[in-house]
Amino acid sequence: MTVYASRDSAVPGRLVFVAINRSTGTQKVSIDGVALAGTASTYRMTAASAANQVALGQHVAPILVGQQPVSGSSLIAVLPALSVSTIAVQ
């Protein structure tokens, strides 16, 4: 598991996390220690979603897989095997 974090200088209060699960099993990650408020939107790419997009003749791109309200200083995400997830909080 690797998680990168950034603040969006163009949008005050917006945080973006990129979580990479390189393992062959589902992983649970806890992002702690940063003030969170608003809605967390999760976009994801997996081998299955990419294969489906290619089969349909589409460009491979992350897919919105969910949104949830967040507050406090902790966010928990469950990440499928061999996936890349982008979590935008704003």
Q: How many whole angstroms separate alpha carbon 49 and alpha carbon 44?
A: 8
pLDDT at residue number 1: 87
CA 12 from centre of chain: 19
Would you call 53 helix, strand, or coil by DSSP?
helix
Domains of the chain: 2-89 (2.60.40.1180)
| Segment 21-31 mean pLDDT | 94
With bands split at pLDDT 50, 70 and 90, how would you rate the model's confidence at 27? Answer: very high
